[in-house]
Amino acid sequence: MSREQRGPNEKLGTVLALAGISNAGLARRVNDLGAQRGMTLRYDKTSVARWVSKGMVPQGAAPHLIAAAIGAKLGRPVPLHEIGLADADPAPEVGLAFPRDVSVAVRHATELYRLDLAGRRAGSGGIWQSLAGSFAVSAYATPASRWLITPADSSVARDSTAAESSSGVSPLRVGHSDVAKLREAAEDARRWDSKYGGGDWRSSMVPECLRVDAAPLLLGSYSDDVGRSLFGATAELTRLAGWMAFDTGQQEAAQRYYIQALRLARAAADVPLGGYVLASMSLQATYRGFADEGVDLAQAALERNRGLATARTMSFFRLVEARAHAKASDPVAAGAALKAAEGWLERSRDGDPDPSWLGFYSYDRLAADAAECYRDLKLPRQVRRFTEQALSRPTEEFVRSHGLRLVVSAVAELESGNLDAACAAGTRAVEVAGRISSARTTEYVRDLLHRLEPYGDEPRVVELRERARPLLVAPA
């Protein structure tokens, strides 16, 4: 279905020419993006011609898919007004802004929380379906630079008059006990995520917690002291929602959560937490193939935290930087960052005031990420050495990490010419992956099977492929 506009849509035609996309090419991209989100679309070059020459406006998610398709080609977000489709149904562009004003930041964050639940319940027409494929690393540029310039707001107090709703209902008076409940929810969610993956049903409670519990508190009334704590707890939950979305392959949702988490961390005046969000952005950018931007984001976290963060926190930031350097095929920079990460970790002490969100980080995590660095640098001997260290610790609490480490171990064994050991580690990895819900773990397994294709006729490889088949065909 479409509705008529007045005259040709010259904006859309101009941007298509700029992106170098033909009518048929745009139709194909839009159909493909829709298929990724469970929608059956049948647009063709004639459909696109009508959008451009007659100003027809496609209904439903199509305008957002058009913007996403063009944005993916241009390498940046494309708002609907740029392509002449601003009159389409409201776009889920919310979440990409990093407002300077705290009250505006609260509005943007709470809008994101509300829209996420709408997307989960609305099926193929929901918000994240509309955002299919719209991740753009350039969207991190403004948030990162604004946070670097001003990592803390001067005041976040919200009085009763300012907080009163348009309906005249008195706002909640927020206290430290309310914030404590959010922190408990974040701690519980972190444990479930590590053990069962970002797609486990318990993990879906985080967006609901943000909508039902955190949003009313943000819109309530609080002192500066309580407000700082509230923003910090909500930033932790929002970053965690982003991490879970990242783990389940919802890159566009993760990006919006991360941006809002960084803005909330600024309101909390929590510079280490802001650095943690930037580190999460860095890992996502690196994972998506934007290693240079991953380096920039990790270094931004480091720069602002010098003299502020604990030694263990600085170690983690350097480790994230090493991951990006390795993906960028820079062994010298990666090696230097790994050495610095180890040095910072050696300086840490049990009595240090490390943040609770860093509870996962220890020598075995450093070893696991170092193994991935050397995998990217194609140094299997080093991969094997660090993977042995990473796999030497109990895994009941960090099941997903154990599965990822097994896949990295299998790749190292394969590159060292040990097919039997590679298949054995791969089989264990598949067993672990079957117990959790993590698109990232599944992608690691898929990559291993791709590497094993030259040995496809070997009985051990055939058996591994058969074991992995249910995992690879399962719905995301």
For the residues of 141-210, what is the DSSP string, one character each? HHHHHHHHH-SS-S---B-HHHH--TT-PPPPB--HHHHHHHHHHHHHHHHHHHHH-TTSGGGGHHHHHI
**DSSP character for 212?**
I
Q: Is the Cβ–Cβ distance between 258 and 239 less than 8 Å?
A: yes
Nearest to 193, CA basis, from 314, 394, 318, 359: 359
Q: Residue 233: is it exposed, middle or buried by C-beta count within 10 angstroms (0-12/13-18/19+)?
A: buried
Q: What is the mean pLDDT of each run of 10 residues along the chain (476 residues)?
A: 67 93 93 70 91 85 84 82 74 79 94 66 42 72 96 90 52 92 91 70 74 94 97 97 89 92 98 98 96 98 96 98 98 98 96 94 94 94 90 73 90 92 94 85 92 93 94 65
| 310 three-class SS | coil
d(CA 370, CA 388): 11
C-alpha atoms less than 13 angstroms from C-alpha of 411 in its C-beta half-sphere: 27
pLDDT at 434: 86
| 224 three-class SS | helix
Instruction: Give the pair of three-digit tokens for residue 284.
Output: 């996502």
**Unique residue bearing structure tokens 């696991």:** 368
Read off φ and ψ for residue 155, nearest 5 degrees.
-155, 145
CATH architecture of 2-83: Orthogonal Bundle (1.10)
Nearest to 268, CA basis, from 164, 358, 179: 179
**Unique residue bearing structure tokens 């206290």:** 175
pTM of the model: 0.80
| 220 three-class SS | coil
pLDDT at 297: 98
